Structure 1
Amino acid sequence: MENQLKQDIIIIAAASLAALHGAYIGNVTPIALPQMATVFGLSNIMQNWVTNIFLLTMAIFAIPFGKLCGKYGIKKTFLWSLILMLIGTIGTPLSNTIPLLFLFRIIQGIGGAGLCVDTILMITEAITTTNRGQALGINVSCVYIGIALAPVIGGILTYHYGWASIFWIMVPVMIINIILLLFIKDEWIKGANEKFDWKGSTIFAVGILLLIYGFSTLNTIQGLIITLIGIILLILFAKMEINTNQPAFDINLYKNKKFLSSNLASILSYIATFVVTTILNYNLQYIRGFNTEITGLLLIVTPLMMAIVSPFSGKLSDKFDPQKISAIGMGIVTIGLLLIIPLNKTTPLYVIIISMFLQGIGYGLFASPNVNTIMSSVPPKDTPMASSAVATMRIIGQTASVGILTTIFALIMGNVIIKPSNFPGLIFSSQITLLITTIISILCVLMCLIGYKSGDKLFTDSKRIDK
């Protein structure tokens, strides 16, 4: 019993540390984008792609990784994901051209996709459902600690030591994570004898690539065509998976209304909230003229509140209906977003801080219970696919969130270098984006309530029987 407790602690620690540095890597670039734009000569559109290329790569690999993790071992794929993340994190600051910069961001994205799937899946497999919500709450809290550290550490390091330092600081953390993982004795393999659906995975990868890339250029005819082709391929993927005995992803899982509603709520929540940090960063640095150090300290408010609230909301979701808690959380997020729709140079700083405070509390209440709903609404044999769904919804939502801003930039500002003469366009683009994300946040609340009122049940310990 004591040895198992030690293993559980190591498992939660390894998964949570990976969640922390994965979140940091995914969220640290916006604070350094103005400096990176100067070094690499990046336009406003290309700046967004420094973040987007990482997220896009994660979106492509998240579904295949769910199947691969179960087939070849969760711990083994976790280790290789960490190694890829380490290689990408070393290579990114060594890049001296835009193609090299994007190449190593892609390598980081492949590793990040594996970590997104493995961290949640390992906790789900190792921790009993009576304590799973609390364990997932700790994991989600570390995600937000990583997000909180990103603008603060990134801002200070960029200001004093340059943009490359924001990546170097994570190298020893990743090495420690690899060492910690080696102390885990157990391995979890699910579906070792199942064939990997290469055809379905390839169609999904191409479809999601075209959808996200096309969406980012939706203001052009070419972008519209690419987006439509991406949608058609994803529909084809769904139809293929329904008729496949060993699918890359079991579409039938979405017949469960709790699984469906919580996944839709997840993607809507990320669309509504992820881009807000980028918008506030642009407002603070470009419009108000704050340096990266001050900007980073201000941007800590939202993720810090998320990190504080998430463990408690995760524990609550073990006792009360998690989707009810999620709905309350996204309601608070919506109020926070409403406050900053008219964001401009004269918006009082205290209004921005109150908005970030509300968003942090609200999303902290939403995230852990929503993940718990997704992972608890499927039988044990399908947890790898459920974990893939968590990662995929997160990544698609984040990418779509940045894609909305990129599209609005293209429509209102064009592909330009951000400078004072373009500040009015930057402000208007931000306001339009915030209006859209607020509406999406309201839709997320409704989706949580739909799932809460559904008759489908969550799997408890007594019901979680492997088939």
Structure 2
Amino acid sequence: MTLTYKWLALLIASLGTLGGVLNGTTLLIALPTIMIALNTTLIGVMAPIIVYMLVTTITAPLWGRAADLYGRKRLYLAGLVLFTLGSLLCGISTDIVQLTGFRVFQAVGGSILIANSTIIVTDAFPRGELGRANGILSMILAAASVVGPVLGGVLTLIDWRLNFYFNIPIGLAALYLGVRYLREPTLPRLGAERFDYAGLALFTIAVMTLLVYVGVGVVPGFLSPVMLATLGIFLVSLVLFVRRENSIPNPLIDLSLFRIQIVAFGQLSVFLNAIARGAVMILLILYFQGVRGLDPLTASILIAPLAVGLVIMGPVGGILSDRYGSRSISTIGLVISLVGLAGLAVIRYDTPYTWIALSMFVNGMGSGLFASPNTSAVMAAVPPERRGITSSVRALLNNLGMVISMAIAMPVLIGSVSMDQIMEMFVIGGMNMPIPVQEAVTAGITFAFAVSTLLTVPAVIASALRGAEQRADLHHEAEGPQRA
């Protein structure tokens, strides 16, 4: 059976982002082994993770805008080359400095792929099938998050470098298919529009200072002089950025898109939901590996219900949104996610796993119902030539929300017991610690879950306030003539 273009586009988009998702989950399992192999510290081995997150967050709007100017196909292929090359370089690293530097290549390529995969799918599918397509894409990526930790455990047992090398065949396969089959749905507009380099500089300063304030401020104090100065730089650069974007003809981020109600509230709900759920995975890992004293591979398997719920409901949410509209389905999804978080907020150090698994599964189901309908509605509401920046803003808000979520959760957890007790718990196992310590650490984790539950409420409200379904290109035909 010959695949039509829309399904080929979905396959290529899925392969391109699959490597990035798998790499993120497999690498977490390999961190202790990498720390020993490269003779570094815990802080040192976290540097490649942090660098990857910072680069993907800061460059998100750059690639969306570049896709609108240069074309989706050529930029997506460039992303595949950079990500695959970065994976090879990471695999041959001999020290932590090299690994951190080469992760920049990976991050740039991964950021391009994430920013463009949704655009490619949106361009390829008609409105009535877009929810299902994004649901399938969400399901594939969610499945990767289930398989990733187990795969990482197996690869690490053989050689930690395989956690990078396995990206190479995936990247080469996607590159071959992309070169041969991917189409260019819009004409590049580089000659007609100028790139906003000054806006990019202001945006980078604003994002960096915000991340420093939120992520580091707890150490010297958020009201300390240095942190207040950092906050001041963020506010000034943000004001200057907004003024510039509203005053030039070809801005880096077209803020006028937020005048579209469904775009404004859809993107806001993405940001708020990311703040609510961003720390969920790491909190669960800390609970199972710390309080319960389980090894990383076992812990990753026990966390699987979270992703399984997303795998099941991702395509279901897309199909339902095609039939009933995105507002009701995505809002219901957030409500279900809230219920799952509330279940996690009441666990104890000795809570039966069945309750924890059910709560994780419900939370994953809610996330699956929310994600694909919301993405489809936002992307379909903007013209094809503005989908690049719309998708990248979505990726930016999602990444930024997750960073803020972890910045909120970690001080809460660390404040529950001393750092020495937390480190000792990971060394000797939580179940071998005194019960008061187990209870204290669990209390910190559940309080963070309670905060996440409360933060989901404004996300529900934002989702419910979106407007009726819109399609910017009403005569869009996925199978029509397109430039190769």
TM-score under structure 1 normalisation? 0.90
The Cα of 1:418 is off from its aligned counterpart by 5.0
The Cα of 1:103 is off from its aligned counterpart by 1.7
Q: Is the Cα–Cα contact under 8 Å of residues 326 and 370 in structure 1 kept in the other structure?
A: yes
Are 1:277 and 2:281 an aligned pair?
A: yes
The Cα of 1:155 is off from its aligned counterpart by 2.9
3-state DSSP of counterpart to 1:317: helix
The Cα of 1:249 is off from its aligned counterpart by 0.8
Partner of 2:81: 83
Partner of 2:59: 61
The Cα of 1:37 is off from its aligned counterpart by 4.7
Greater mean deviation of Cα atoms: 218-227 or 422-431:
422-431
Partner of 1:205: 204
CA distance in 2, matches of 1:210, 1:27: 27
CA distance in 2, matches of 1:426, 1:30: 21
Greater mean deviation of Cα atoms: 8-17 or 188-197:
188-197
User: Which of residues 326, 331, 345 is equivalent to 1:327?
Assistant: 331
Partner of 1:390: 394
Distance 1:347 1:29, change over 3 A: farther
Partner of 2:306: 302
The superposition leaves residues 215-256 of structure 1 with CA deviations (integer Å, 9 ceiling, x where unpaired) of 110212334532442243223212210111110111111112
How many pairs were matched up? 458
CA distance in 2, matches of 1:169, 1:183: 23
User: Which of residues 454, 462, 466 is equivalent to 2:474?
Assistant: 462
Greater mean deviation of Cα atoms: 96-105 or 278-287:
96-105
CA distance in 1, matches of 2:346, 2:456: 17
The Cα of 1:334 is off from its aligned counterpart by 0.9
Equivalence map 1:397-412=2 (5 Å): 397-408=401-412
User: Which of residues 165, 168, 173 is equivalent to 1:168?
Assistant: 165
Letter of the aligned partner of 1:22 in structure 2? G
The superposition leaves residues 10-45 of structure 1 with CA deviations (integer Å, 9 ceiling, x where unpaired) of 2110001122222222333333344445555434x6
Letter of the aligned partner of 1:444 in structure 2? A
Letter of the aligned partner of 1:293 in structure 2? L
3-state DSSP of counterpart to 1:76: helix
Partner of 1:286: 290
Greater mean deviation of Cα atoms: 368-377 or 133-142:
133-142
Letter of the aligned partner of 2:193 in structure 1? E
Equivalence map 1:192-271=2 (5 Å): 192=190, 193-219=192-218, 220=220, 221=224, 222-271=226-275
Partner of 2:317: 313
Provide the identity percentage. Answer: 25
The superposition leaves residues 297-326 of structure 1 with CA deviations (integer Å, 9 ceiling, x where unpaired) of 222222122122211211221222202111
Unmatched tracts of structure 2, length 5 or more: 431-436, 478-484
Distance 1:61 1:413, change over 3 A: farther
Greater mean deviation of Cα atoms: 361-370 or 142-151:
142-151
Letter of the aligned partner of 2:99 in structure 1? L
Q: Is the Cα–Cα contact under 8 Å of residues 131 and 321 in structure 2 kept in the other structure?
A: yes
Partner of 1:148: 146
CA distance in 2, matches of 1:228, 1:96: 40
Distance 1:415 1:285, change over 3 A: closer
3-state DSSP of counterpart to 1:13: helix
Letter of the aligned partner of 1:395 in structure 2? N
Partner of 2:134: 136
Letter of the aligned partner of 1:207 in structure 2? A
Unmatched tracts of structure 1, length 5 or more: none
Distance 1:246 1:464, change over 3 A: farther
Q: Highest Rg: 1 or 2?
A: 2
The Cα of 1:365 is off from its aligned counterpart by 0.4
Letter of the aligned partner of 2:230 in structure 1? I
CA distance in 2, matches of 1:364, 1:457: 19
Are 1:182 and 2:179 an aligned pair?
A: yes
Letter of the aligned partner of 1:26 in structure 2? G
Partner of 1:104: 102
Partner of 2:482: none
Q: Is the Cα–Cα contact under 8 Å of residues 413 and 448 in structure 2 kept in the other structure?
A: no
Q: Is the Cα–Cα contact under 8 Å of residues 73 and 182 in structure 2 kept in the other structure?
A: no
Partner of 2:445: 430
The Cα of 1:427 is off from its aligned counterpart by 3.9
Query: Aligned-pair RMSD on alpha carbons?
Result: 2.6
CA distance in 1, matches of 2:47, 2:341: 24
Partner of 1:127: 125
Are 1:32 and 2:36 an aligned pair?
A: no
CA distance in 1, matches of 2:456, 2:45: 25
TM-score under structure 2 normalisation? 0.87
Partner of 1:440: 455
CA distance in 2, matches of 1:253, 1:33: 41
CA distance in 2, matches of 1:171, 1:343: 41
